[in-house]
Chains A and B, each alone.
Chain A
Amino acid sequence: MNRNTVALNVENHTDMKLDLQAIRDMALGCSFLGAGGGSSTYATELQLLQALERDYADIRLISTADLADDALVVPCGWTGAPGVLKEKCPNGSEGITGLTKLEEVMGREVSAVFPMEIGGQNGLSPLLIAAKKGIPVVDCDGMGRAFPQGQMVVFNIYGCSATPAVISDEHGNCITIETTHNNALEKLTRQIAIGMGGRCHKVSYPLSGSQVKAYAVKGTLSLARGIGREVRYARSTHEDPVQALFGYLRTTSDYRHVFLLFEGKIVDIQRSFQNGFSVGKVIVESFGPEKRTMAVEFKNEFLIARENGRTKAMVPDIISFVDRGTADVVSIENIKYGQRVKVVAASIAPLLRSEKALNILGPRVFDIEETYIPVEKLNANDSSDYFDGGGIN
């Protein structure tokens, strides 16, 4: 039987081929959903450009509903230092090495892949694997944004096993891991990443089609594409791209509470290393004469934004910096003194705001001594809401 007929509920299936424009749009959306982290999408865009234009690959996107319940579906992504990708680009075979090994270990074929996290370049890299392997990519992810650690994923919240998992590198080396606790995989992977040159590919949380349908954050690749498309349209018609971003997010159910928290100039950026993470704080100062400031703390991704000490948004809600004029996303690794940015916050899927989720990825996990309050509550009475009176409640 053909691999794809295993993957798909043939009757419902909504297979869509992705072109370069779609990928560029997705890249901008993924950058926004990266919440400041997730690593730049540029090198991965180039890989996809090469795959499409030189290797004539097909990248096919299907919806979760298209999956057969018993299909083997695997989330993919990279772990390690985003800075390494600027120098050492992938061979392109890493994901295939991992999936092939996983198939061997599990004794069955993988029917489809999808991004473990939609944020940053990890939202795009599974498209390349899908193209090379000739299988579809599923329109969903495991985080609805980017998080710094592997266990901060919906499948862990629902108690799915992270293993068997396979870590691989550009030489074709791979390591199969079985763990007794999902947190152990994250710790081991980070050590292996260092050995593999700072960055490695990981396939983990092998799932059934029905698990994906039940647990995944759905439609996020389309969401990312929609964000990029609306921003691009706005730029081409000389409308405000940031307003277009807001307008689009408000049409979604998970991300519809979107707020302009602050607008100003970066006046300070403090960074340090703590246990292998980039930790620090950015200070943004307003343009007006009254000199308001906003402090935004981060651990790889943005965690909490406070204006003059008053909390305006916190993890797991998305905080992102965008360029005032173009809506280009300014990721933490690229923040520089003097940049003029808009600080934007958006809500996230209700599942990621549940008590169970907050124990895994909420503010206290990041040593922030505050109880999580959704961004729309924090900004409910704010008269400085952006465009059409702010978020929809």
Chain B
Amino acid sequence: MRIGVDVGGTNTDAVLMDGRSIICAYKASTTYDLTSGILEAIEYLLDNIGIESSAIESVMIGTTHFTNALIERNGLLEVAVIRLASPSGHSVVPKVSWPEDLVSAIGDHTYLLPGGYEFDGREITPFDEEAVRRAAKDISQKGLKTVAISSVYASINQEMENRAATIVRQENPGIYITLSSDIGGVGLIERENATIMNASCTELACRVVKAFGEALKKIDIIAPVYFSQNDGTLISGELVERFPIFTFASGPTNSIRGAAFLSGVEDGIVMDIGGTTCDVGVLQKGFPRESCFDVDIGGVRTNFRMPDILAIGIGGGSRIHCPIENLASTERTAEVSAFLEDVQIGPDSVGHDLMIHGLVFGGDTLTTTDISVAANPTLAKELGIGESERVQHLSPIFVSGVRAKIRGICGDTVDRMKTEAGDVPVILVGGGHILLGHDLPGASQMIRPRYAEVANAVGAAIAQIGGVVDKIYSYQEQSRESALDQAKQEAIEAALQAGGTAGTARIVDVEEIPMAYVPGESVRIKVKAVAELKSNE
């Protein structure tokens, strides 16, 4: 059996799974120290089912903690940045477009040194050992704890980054080092940004991973701990200590993957309706569709593969603002019709205090949930949400008008995300799914799977192991077939090495990008392989 945990900003959800069936789920509040919330949730699962800790074979954790650390500029280390590229790149120094407060949290310790490669593997300038050593000594003198090293075309050849790391380590034993070639991707600025952000989180990552491990030990769970990453696959705790950035934006991925699992649908639209927002994503062959454009995290552009998400400011706790008093309960239908257009939904929300402030829960704030319950008391009763008697006074024309607005906005969002014409299944997950009824424009069916409220934790629990290759090949030096085969093989090996079961590995994505104008038929090949985790079977 295994446990999936989703550590969100507000809630910590956990599910206990055996093979492909869900045994039990629990929702706890996220605690300041993270671990006590996790402990509460896991202990509940174990006690409720009455199983021993030793029955747990693995624990999968999805967390937004490192993303939040960057967004809140909290717990970050100052970073020394070594870029091997000089004289190229001086016109765009590291962190040039970063938000000022993030730059001041990370400090200004930049070393622009000779090195780097051309597209064809030639050196831009030779590696300068002495220059790197001087920088390493300076880093030591400043007492910096973490270093980010980048070089031009590191995806073709990472030798210079490795050499620089060796020298830095000689002068600074025990220092954290992040290499851009380990982060991967083509695009120096985006890759370097991610490398620096990663370097700034490494100490925090070590602390958090260690704390998770110790917490689990306390309740005698000795199973390996994995973390979800942004592409829906898992990495080990040791890798998270070195590459916390790989966990960024795992939340939306987990909710989409969880929705796929819970509903059994492989292609469709997933709406994750929370208290304040609704995240709409696309499910393609069981995986989230990735964004076409580069993604900003905390104001910094990265080359990360992220799910293509459209967020709208409507959730279960969104407030309804009326232009005139008592509009919601008036019996004068002409008045309602006249002012309906000016009724505003959100973007402010009562959030997780919905159970206190919402009308159906005995509060005094009109929210989207109240409208939904009034419009569909049968469904509300089925789902056990509030008391519909408390919203009987709302005027039916007002309720249906506001509901039409919500449906219109959601339907439009679904339409914007659709990849093909025609109606598609819509899967509703998250705590606010009552917001929508049994139909929506553009939806072939509305699916409300059991355990929809903990889809994120389920997504973490069912994640697979992935392996990615992203490199430039020359079709003059080797045939296209041989380059593709090599890339696929490397991706599969990477997936198996990370804990996948041999024989279950499959290639899920192949992308070829010819490098315009470059001779030698240079092509960038991105391949992703995934495999079932050994413990999932």
Contacts and interface: CB of A to CB of B under 8 A. Distances in A.
A42 B303 CA distance: 13
Interface string B510-523: 00011111110100
Contacts of A336: 292
Interface in A255-299: 265, 271-273, 276-278, 286-289
B441 interface: no
A198 B119 contact: yes
Interface in B362-417: 416
A43 interface: yes
B119 A87 contact: yes
A170 B152 CA distance: 14
B189 A89 contact: yes
A266 B354 CA distance: 42
B88 A89 contact: yes
A236 interface: no
Contacts of A247: none
Contact of B96 (A49, A170, A276, A288): A49
A81 interface: yes
A50 B118 contact: no
A194 B519 contact: yes
A82 interface: yes
Which of A46, A92, A273 is packed against the most chain B CB atoms within 10 Å?
A273
A83 B119 CA distance: 9
Contacts of B518: 81, 83-84, 198
Contacts of A42: 189
Secondary structure class of chain B's binding surface, majority of residues: loop
A278 B514 contact: yes
A273 B514 contact: yes
Contacts of A171: 87, 125
Contacts of A83: 119, 186, 513, 515-518, 524
Contact of A81 (B119, B186, B293): B119
Contact of B292 (A80, A288, A334): A334
Given A46-B97, A197-B124, A325-B416, A338 B289 contact: yes
B153 interface: yes
Contacts of A80: 517
Nearest to A338: B419
Nearest to B301: A42
Contact of B92 (A43, A81, A84, A288): A43
Interface string B153-176: 100000000000000000000000
Nearest to B90: A91
Interface string B93-131: 100110000000000000000001011101011000000
B96 A54 contact: yes
Interface string B414-427: 00100111000000
B517 A50 contact: no
A194 B186 CA distance: 19
Contacts of B124: 88, 170, 197
B527 interface: no
Contact of A89 (B89, B119, B419): B89
A386 B421 CA distance: 21
Contacts of B513: 83, 333
Contacts of A265: 419-420
B153 A87 contact: yes
Interface range, B side: 35 or more
B38 interface: no
Contact of B186 (A49, A82, A87): A87
Contacts of A172: 87
B153 A88 contact: yes
A80 B518 CA distance: 8
A300 B91 contact: no
B143 interface: no
Contacts of A170: 87-88, 124
A82 B517 contact: yes
Nearest to A190: B517
A197 B87 contact: no
Which of B420, B514, B516, B519 is packed against the most chain A CB atoms within 10 Å?
B516
B517 A81 contact: yes
A91 B515 contact: no
A339 interface: yes
Contacts of A278: 514, 516-517
Interface string B480-518: 000000000000000000000000000000000111111
B350 interface: no
Interface in A81-128: 81-84, 86-93, 128
B91 A87 contact: no
Nearest to A193: B517
Contact of A87 (B93, B187, B420): B187
A243 to B, nearest CB: 17
Contacts of A286: 421
A47 interface: yes
B271 interface: no
A276 B519 contact: yes
Contacts of A338: 289, 292, 419
A39 to B, nearest CB: 8
Nearest to B475: A273
A233 B180 CA distance: 37
Contacts of A334: 292
A89 B519 contact: no
A197 B524 CA distance: 17
Which of B97, B119, B188 is packed against the most chain A CB atoms within 10 Å?
B119
B127 to A, nearest CB: 16
B85 interface: yes
A88 B87 contact: no
Given A46-B189, A82-B516, A197-B118, A87 B152 contact: yes
Interface in A157-174: 170-172
A390 to B, nearest CB: 24
B189 A50 contact: no
B93 A50 contact: yes
A278 B16 CA distance: 52
B89 A273 contact: no
A294 to B, nearest CB: 15
A129 to B, nearest CB: 11
A328 interface: yes
A197 B119 contact: yes
Which of A83, A289, A300, A325 is packed against the most chain B CB atoms within 10 Å?
A83
B188 A197 contact: no
Given A84-B119, A89-B189, A47 B92 contact: yes
Contacts of B93: 50, 54
A266 to B, nearest CB: 10
Nearest to A273: B521
Interface string A42-74: 110011011101100000000000000000000
B96 A86 contact: no
29 contacts: A80-B517, A81-B517, A83-B119, A83-B515, A83-B516, A84-B515, A86-B187, A86-B188, A87-B119, A88-B88, A88-B116, A88-B124, A89-B85, A89-B88, A89-B189, A90-B89, A91-B91, A92-B91, A171-B125, A190-B517, A194-B519, A198-B119, A276-B519, A277-B517, A328-B293, A333-B513, A333-B516, A338-B289, A338-B419
Interface of B: 85, 87-93, 96-97, 116, 118-120, 122, 124-125, 152-153, 186-189, 289, 292-293, 416, 419-421, 513-519, 521, 524
Interface of A: 42-43, 46-47, 49-51, 53-54, 80-84, 86-93, 128, 170-172, 190, 193-194, 197-198, 265, 271-273, 276-278, 286-289, 300, 324-325, 328, 330, 332-334, 336, 338-340
Given A83-B517, A87-B188, A91-B90, 16 more contacts: A42-B189, A81-B119, A81-B516, A84-B119, A84-B515, A84-B518, A87-B152, A88-B153, A92-B90, A198-B119, A265-B420, A273-B521, A276-B519, A277-B517, A289-B421, A339-B292
In the A-B complex, list the 3 residue pairs whose CB atoms are closest, starting with the nearest.
A92-B91, A81-B517, A278-B516
